[in-house]
Amino acid sequence: MAGGLVFLVGALLWRAYAVPALVKFPVDVDQNPVYAGTFSLFVDPSTAAPLAEPTVADLYVDRRVQALPDESGARLVVVRETITFEVEGFAPSTQVHQYVMDRATNANVDDPRAWAFDETNHLDRSGAYWVALPQDLDRSSSAPMFKDEIATTFIARAGPDTKEVAGVRLIRFEAEERFVPVTEAYLRSLDEVVPLPRSLTFEELRPSLIAAGVPVEAALAAVLAVASPEDLAILVELIDEPIPLEYVISFGGETFVEPGTGAIVDVSSVVDRISARPASRGTAQLLTVLERYRAEPDVAAALEALDALESEPLPVFEYRYAQAAASVEEIAGWVDDQLDRIDLAERLVPLALAGIGALGLVGGIVLIVRRRIGMAR
């Protein structure tokens, strides 16, 4: 009976202490999911002028997600993500990101070892997710995701759809954001593929404005006909001044997640579109002059079209891709192995300990009863 009690107490202690120590983000992760899709370019890289038809090329994305065991510990895991974009006709581009995550929750923590694009670009991603989602999800869940390109969070929400891959049940998460300003660190990484000018003169920007529906020629003619000498002098000066550009990203997609572990198994759709618009600090004086002549119909039309660029900026390029089927199967197999280990730790081992303990107690009781029966005879 004493031995049985030891095993029963062991089962309780296993659940209380061993399971939390064992069931958490592993420090030996080394995954290599791959993706394929298209890259669409909407501007001429040499002139920044809009193309009549976008150039579309094949896109291949190689992503390695690797835990760094030497830098990880019982509570935190350091994970490095290396992404290589290969676009037909362009030089390959590689982005490197490093995360420090709480192993028990999969959430990022603020740590000097966490950075994006280069080691000097430290990011505080605390409380948000990326490499994996939270554990124990359901179809009503949502989670803050941290996107390094914008250095802030967005919300991923569970959808109604589920599916099964290699015996692993998955639930769908989706997200969509429009026209969020990107960071300079991200722009520097993009320069490896498509050099992006940080400013353009009015003449350089003119073709894009015309393509966006701004009646440039008619508005200038109307202003020149009625403007005061002072305003004309301002306009002449502004034409040669570089106008700063603001780059924004619109992104969305869906991914399928194993709800127990929060592991991302199938990235079934990703769309990232980079767009540009004149920065308000560079156009404020020009807009002030034009506003004085809003009574002119062509000027009013130009102002309205310029206002519309805030909500519909000029497209520059777009990535559109999805995870390869073989890669999905590979990740699902790995997650299935993790689920088996979790099941062993959470259910089978404590059940075995409890079972041995119960047998010990029953065996002890049987022996006592037999002894008493024997003594009674």
pLDDT score for 359: 76
CA distances from 6 to 240, 349, 358, 360, 367 (A): 85, 15, 10, 9, 18
- 185 in a structural domain: yes
- The answer to whether residue 175 scores a pLDDT higher than 90 is yes
pLDDT 10s digits, 99-120: 999 999 999 999 999 999 999 9
pLDDT score for 146: 97
- The answer to whether residue 10 scores a pLDDT higher than 60 is no
pLDDT score for 368: 78
The mean pLDDT of 366-377, rounded to a whole number, is: 73
- The answer to whether residue 350 scores a pLDDT higher than 70 is no
- 214 in a structural domain: yes
Give the chain's domain count: 1
pLDDT 10s digits, 11-45: 565 455 444 554 589 899 999 999 999 999 999 98
- 377 in a structural domain: no
pLDDT score for 185: 95
Do residues 278 and 308 make contact, with C-beta atoms less than 8 angstroms apart? no
- The answer to whether residue 69 scores a pLDDT higher than 90 is yes
| pLDDT level of residue 352 (50, 70, 90 thresholds) | low
pLDDT 10s digits, 190-236: 887 778 999 998 888 899 999 889 999 999 899 989 999 999 888 88
Do residues 253 and 269 make contact, with C-beta atoms less than 8 angstroms apart? yes
pLDDT score for 17: 47
- The answer to whether residue 374 scores a pLDDT higher than 80 is no
Q: In this predicted model, which residue has the larger pLDDT, 331 or 240?
A: 331
The whole-angstrom separation of Cα 309 and Cα 305 is 7
Q: Give the domain range for residue 306.
A: 25-344
CA distances from 335 to 9, 141, 156, 203, 222 (A): 31, 20, 21, 55, 66
The phi, psi pair for 128, rounded to 5°, reads -110, 175
pLDDT score for 234: 86
- 194 in a structural domain: yes
The mean pLDDT of 291-295, rounded to a whole number, is: 92
SS (H, E, C) the chain: CHHHHHHHHHHHHHHHHHHHHHCCCCCCCEECCEEEEEEEEEECCCCCCEEEEEEEEEEEEEEEEEECHHHCCCCEEEEEEEEEEEECCCCCEEEEEEEEEECCCCCECCCCCCEECEEEEECCCCCCECCECCCCCCCCCEEEEEECCCCEEEEEEEEEEEEEECCEEEEEEEEEEEEEECCHHHHHHHCCCCCCCCEECHHHHHHHHHHCCCCHHHHHHHHHHHCCHHHHHHHHHHHCCCEEEEEEEEEEEEEEEECCCCEEEEEEEEEEEEEEEECHHHHHHHHHHHHCCCCCHHHHHHHHHHHHHHHCCEEEEEEEEEECHHHHHHHHHHHHHHHHHHHHHHHHHHHHHHHHHHHHHHHHHHHHHHHHHHHHC
pLDDT 10s digits, 118-172: 999 999 999 999 999 998 898 889 999 999 999 999 999 998 889 999 999 999 9
pLDDT score for 345: 53
Tell me the Cα Rg of the chain.
Answer: 30
- 370 in a structural domain: no
- 375 in a structural domain: no
- 304 in a structural domain: yes
- 218 in a structural domain: yes
